[in-house]
């Protein structure tokens, strides 16, 4: 059975693609939030989904239901969705891929995505991710990346990633797409671990700026910039009423300037719930 359900067949001009997946690769919803912003900015239309039945374990990523007045109205399934956007002011269009990270048959899933992008005529792909780190919210968002040409990362002001260990679907897709002849880059935003349960628009903005530059997208980021500023103000307000929070962030700032300084994440364990509660109240 074909795992692709197509709603339409978009006619796209030399499309480029950006992808993000919720879950392990998506700390503080930074990656998925970035592509959601792109979808909204371009009024991108969904044209296909990858059937979740083949790749999702519904005991791990459960569908959601809407119940109103005692009646079940709607069930939403955790699928990967593909959107298309025409960019009249550019010589290429945009494909956006977003969805839940699959739990099953990753190699098969990667092949499905690869075939879809090739059929659409995509040659250039940006993969987005985010991870929790000991970085203060007061500093510019660190963005790391991978590229076939390291000089491209230097020109973008992106540090080349160095990592060895477990990976998510974003890490799997990159090498497979490269092997299939695609021009692939990935950007990863480091988000403050003490804000890990909050969506982080500042990290979204950092990823958006890098993506727009690489894929030559004309995106109005002013709305996201406003939300990012408001978010940082709220976190600063939480700092102002907690000497422990202020002290911890100051230590992170000092550690960023002096790499030999070691900060234990356990030092912030009690602060996390306090910050979460404060942000809910204001």
- Comparing 41-50, 132-141, 212-221, the range with the smallest average pLDDT is 132-141
Show me where the domains of the chain are located: 4-220, 229-281
The confidence score (pLDDT) of residue 116 equals 95
Q: pLDDT: is 18 or 79 the higher one?
A: 18
pLDDT of 237 strictly over 50? yes
pLDDT of 10 strictly over 80? yes
pLDDT of 209 strictly over 70? yes
The confidence score (pLDDT) of residue 74 equals 84
pLDDT of 262 strictly over 50? no
pLDDT in tens, 66-111: 888 777 778 888 889 999 999 988 999 999 999 999 999 999 999 9
pLDDT of 263 strictly over 50? no
> What percent of the chain has pLDDT above 90?
57
Q: pLDDT: is 272 or 36 the higher one?
A: 36
pLDDT of 258 strictly over 60? no
- Comparing 197-201, 204-208, 272-276, the range with the smallest average pLDDT is 272-276
User: What is the DSSP code string of the chain?
Assistant: ---EEES-----SS-EEEEEEESTTBGGGHHHHHHHHHHHHHTPEEEEEE-HHHH--TTTS--EEEEETTEEEEEE---EEEEEE--TTSSS-EEEEEEEPPSS-HHHHHHHHHHHHHHHT--EEEEEEEEEES--TTSPPPEEEEESSHHHHHHHT-EEP---S---HHHHHHHHHHHTT-EEEEEEEEEEGGGTTS--HHHHHHHHHHHHHHHT-----HHHHHHHHHHHHHHHHHHHT-HHHHHHHHHHHHHHHSTT----GGGGHHHHHHHHHHHHH-
- Comparing 99-103, 148-152, 229-233, the range with the smallest average pLDDT is 148-152
Q: In the CATH scheme, what architecture does the domain 4-220 have? A: 3-Layer(aba) Sandwich (3.40)
pLDDT in tens, 211-221: 999 999 999 99
Q: pLDDT: is 184 or 134 the higher one?
A: 184
Average pLDDT estimate for 264-269: 52
Give 170's pLDDT tier (boundaries 50, 70, 90): very high
């Amino acid at each position: 059975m074909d795992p692709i359900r197509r709603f339409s067949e978009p006619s796209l001009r030399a499309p480029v693609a950006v992808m993000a997946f919720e879950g392990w690769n998506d700390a503080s919803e930074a990656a998925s939030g970035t592509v959601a912003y792109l979808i909204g900015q371009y009024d991108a239309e969904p044209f296909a989904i990858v059937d979740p039945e083949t790749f999702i374990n519904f005991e791990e990523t459960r569908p959601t239901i809407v119940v109103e007045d005692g009646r079940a109205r709607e069930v939403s399934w955790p699928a990967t969705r593909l959107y298309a956007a025409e960019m009249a002011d550019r010589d290429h269009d945009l494909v956006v891929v977003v969805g839940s990270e699959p739990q099953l048959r990753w190699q098969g899933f990667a092949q499905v995505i690869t075939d879809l992008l090739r059929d659409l005529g995509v040659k250039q792909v940006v993969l987005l991710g985010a991870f929790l780190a000991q970085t203060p919210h007061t500093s510019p968002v660190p963005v790391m990346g991978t590229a076939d040409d390291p000089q491209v990362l230097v020109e973008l002001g992106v540090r080349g990633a160095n990592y060895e260990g477990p990976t998510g679907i974003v890490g799997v897709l990159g090498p497979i797409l490269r092997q299939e002849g695609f021009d692939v880059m990935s950007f990863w935003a480091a988000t403050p671990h003490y804000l890990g349960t909050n969506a982080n628009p500042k990290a979204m903005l950092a990823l958006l700026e890098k993506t727009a530059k690489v894929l030559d997208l004309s995106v109005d980021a002013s709305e996201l910039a406003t939300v990012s500023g408001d978010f940082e103000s709220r976190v600063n307000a939480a700092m102002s009423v907690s000497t422990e929070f202020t002290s911890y962030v100051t230590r992170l700032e000092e550690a960023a300037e002096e790499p030999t300084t070691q900060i234990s994440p356990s030092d912030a364990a009690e602060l996390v719930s306090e910050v979460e509660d404060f942000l809910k109240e204001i």
